[in-house]
Amino acid sequence: MSTPSVEDYLKAIYKARTNAEDVTSQDIAARVGVSGAAVSKMLRRLTELRLAEHTPYHGVRLTKAGEKIALEIIRHHRLLERYLVEALGYSWDQVHVEAERLEHHISEEFEARIDALLGYPATCPHGDPIPARDGSVPAIRGTALSSQSDAATLVVERVGDTDAKLLRYFDGLGLRPGAVIEFVEREPFGGAFLVRFAGTLVRVAPEAADQLFVGACGNLRAGSEEPCSTSGVERRVVE
């Protein structure tokens, strides 16, 4: 078995790779929250463990084995987030921190049981896809609202999950995965993004718009039963 620390690095490398083609050590360091030197050392270890391939001063890539572990941990994380919300009544801004610790310590048995109890959900409460047990991952959907330029009807696919304050902000506005919004325009000089939602005009702050990922409204979200509803509320799993 791998240690929680190894798992954290694998997860960070995996996530960094889905964003940028080249994974930099700095990026990993920032994600894991350690110094660059710690990253260097760990990359050597991961290479020895055959979980990654690291050519010094150049890139890192996860091996099949490394990716498998990364996906297992991400699966644990997102299932746990979902479980904490659905079964224990956590709010969606609390779950990230709790899942971050628990993801390293639950058994496969635990994972399987909460998965079944939740009815095999496709996404976490923030809209990120839950990797399947076989290692397949549904495509990550949506582009940041902040990169939107033309007016359009859009559906919220997912939101950034790390900043609790931001999540409470979204929650206050009613902006959750599944919500259908109409992008109107951006206020000038780095201003807010104007969005019509549930009949009213909402101003989404620039930094919030970076963390709000939207898709074309015709795009059905996997597992979403009301692709273009305006309720803005995710379906709850009822036992």
Partner DNA sequence: CGCTTAAGTTAACTGCGGTTCAAGTTTTTA
Partner DNA sequence: TAAAAACTTGAACCGCAGTTAACTTAAGCG
Nearer to a copy of itself, 44 or 113 (CB): 113
**Interface with DNA includes 63 (CB under 7 A)?**
no
Is there binding between residue 25 and DNA (CB under 7 A)?
yes
Token pair for 161: 């999950």
User: For residue 204, what are its two tokens?
Assistant: 């989404």
Report yes or no: 44 and 54 within 8 Å, Cβ to Cβ.
yes
Q: Which amino acid is at 97?
A: V
Distance CA(237)–CA(87), nearest Å, equals 9
Distance between CA atoms of residues 23 and 75, nearest Å: 21
In the complex with DNA, which residue's Cβ is closer, 25 or 123?
A: 25
Interface region with DNA, contact rule CB under 7 A, candidates 36-44, 100-108, 190-198, 221-229: 36-44
Residues 54-73 that bind a copy of itself (CB under 8 A): none
Segment contacting DNA (CB under 7 A): 52-60, 76-84, 100-108, 164-172? 52-60
Q: Is 163 in the site for a copy of itself (CB under 8 A)?
A: no
How far is CA 123 from each of CA 73, 74, 137, 141, rounded to the nearest angstrom? 14, 11, 11, 11
> Residue 36 and residue 30: Cα distance in Å, rounded?
9
Q: Measuring CA to CA, how many Å separate 133 from each of 66, 93, 122, 196, 235? A: 15, 26, 12, 38, 23
Contact flag: residue 98 with a copy of itself (CB under 8 A): yes
Cα-to-chain-centroid distance, residue 92: 12
Which amino acid would we find at residue 26? Answer: Q
What's 50's DSSP letter?
T
Binder to a copy of itself among 107, 136, 149, 200 (CB under 8 A)?
Answer: 107
Q: What minimum distance in Å lies between the beta carbon of 8 and DNA?
A: 7
Distance, CA of 213 to CA of 11 (rounded, Å): 21
Q: State which of residues 18, 19, 21, 39 lies at the interface with DNA (CB under 7 A).
A: 39
If one asks whether residue 137 binds a copy of itself (CB under 8 A), the answer comes out as no
110 near a copy of itself (CB under 8 A): yes
Q: Which is nearer to DNA, 42 or 85 (CB)?
A: 42
Q: Is 114 in the site for a copy of itself (CB under 8 A)?
A: yes
**Residue (105 or 165) nearer to DNA, CB:** 105
| Stated length of the chain | 239
Residues at the interface with a copy of itself (CB under 8 A): 84, 87-90, 94, 97-98, 101-102, 104-107, 109-110, 113-114, 117, 239
**Contacting positions for DNA (CB under 7 A):** 3-6, 8, 24-26, 32, 34-45, 54, 56-57
